Structure 1
Amino acid sequence: MIDTRRLRTLRAVADHGTVTAAAAALHLTPSAVSQQLGALEHEVGQRLFTRDGRGVRLTAVGKIMLKHANEVLAQLERAEAEVAAYSTGAAGEVVVASFATAIGVVLAPAIAALRVRLPELTIRVLDAEGDHSLTMLLDHTADLAIAVEYRGAPDAADQRLFRLALYAEPFDLVLPRDHPLATAPPLALDALAGETWIGPYPGNPVHDVIAFACEQQGFTPSFAHSSDDFRAVVALVGAGAGVALVPRLAMRDLDRSGVAVRQAPGPERRVFAALRRGTEEHPLLRPVVDELRRTAHALG
């Protein structure tokens, strides 16, 4: 009989790529994780991982086991959700990991509505960048994640996740007020190919969206200044340090006095909610998901 705790360890190592990182996510020692993997390999009778530089990668048998581990763990989540629905109803705590803009535009309004409708439901919020929230979800640090689409993000077919699209927002082009293109006719992104760019750090999903949009126009943006805080990005543009693309909802409350803001052609920030597969009908999570959908719909 395969121990499900070892299946969770298998998935954590596959997700994080190293025993040390998986151990930190599981709140175990690296030695304990190695022992769990060794025991699972003994149960299966096959090697599941092989060394890959400083990390590890799945063998062919490991990939087969991971597929079944995802199915088994999702079924266990489903069983726990049904038991919770029978025994408790919508009373308890839900931990939501989300990036800052989505906290302001969809999560906070949803919490306000739920406090009136379901006062016994407590929501705890963790501020996390659009990619980190998914890691927190899969590591069981959060029950629900609000994340941003980016290259390499888990797609709708990922067996670990249940996903729900929330909203898509365009980007605004932010230029110094005296920039020659600040008042030009409608322009394409390739007109900015030679500019100095300001934006989030590599690894931030917004950085990826911007880079991909520019690559589709035939150039790679030259990022000279990096900040994950859009207030800082807009302030640097106002100081003449470069140009930027900023998601429109993130621009709502920012100081625009030193910049010109223009509609940017093409890119969008696509935002979705994610749950661990099997928890989508949990009585604590279902009302949160439904309220997030209503709040996002109200954005238009």
Structure 2
Amino acid sequence: MLKTSYEAYFESYTPHIENIQQYDVESPLSYMVQLANAQVPLHEYWVSKQFNYFNIEDRDNLIDWFERVAVQKKLPGTAVVRATYLLDLYYSKIPNAAKNILIKQSQTLSKQWDHSVIGGCIFDIASKVEGVKLFPAIIACFKCPAQELLEMQLQILQSLNYNVTMLTGIDFVVAMSTNLYQNETTPNICSPLKQLKIISQQITVSPINSDQDQIMNINHKKEKLPMSKFIAKAAARVSIFQKNQKFISVSQATIGAAAVLQVIKAHRKDFIKQFAKLCYEGKIEFHEVQGICQQLDSESKVW
């Protein structure tokens, strides 16, 4: 039986949970939100005439490709989230990106679908940020000299002002989850970041299906969802939010908060008031977070 996207990515986030801990989750949430709000892709950027060489179907195809490669290569789902974010930022900034001179001048790259070359380079950049070397596979995919892809990557990096380590929705999942669970964690001298590392080492991978989810919902009062699995579930939801074209211009802070709220409603309703207070202190619009969750729920019953 084929796994759903959510099932596959929950498994992906669980063993690789340490990859989402590169950033200082002890930074003030309001400052993290400020950084995220400064890096928001344009809404429906493909509609503008200057971007009409890239449409929503192209975007969907690239993200589907990212997901397939991630599952096949057992990459952390964080790489897909970052690649999708960078893809939207890049195409928001570059008019007629597909008519790239480096692609047109290359005898090998010019034979490829333009967007696949750009998407492949962006995916490799995102994977490197998440600690994975994907470049050899990209070279093999396009059957071209490494130097040509490196030049293409350099051009993409320059277009993004080399800012490819920006916060994603998953970073906000980690930060908010750590805050929500801080009163339940055994007191010690470790920082929240170190506590997460300790917890992640104890995680075992197990497939998630609808029946298991229902069992967890029934028994959540008897056994509260531990922080490590709370983070993994919320992180998997980030990829679903980010893939939806309606949320492209939504801040990563809001996307992360919406993912956290979804898990709270399913497993930890006792966190609702604390979560609302956290949004207020971090200057995240709580009504916007609720609106996104409601909109996605009305479109699909993934959960």
Q: TM-score, normalised by structure 2?
A: 0.24
RCO higher in 1 or 2 (8 Å CA, sep ≥ 6)? 2
The structure in which a higher percent of residues are helix is 2
Larger Rg: 1
The structure in which a higher percent of residues are strand is 1
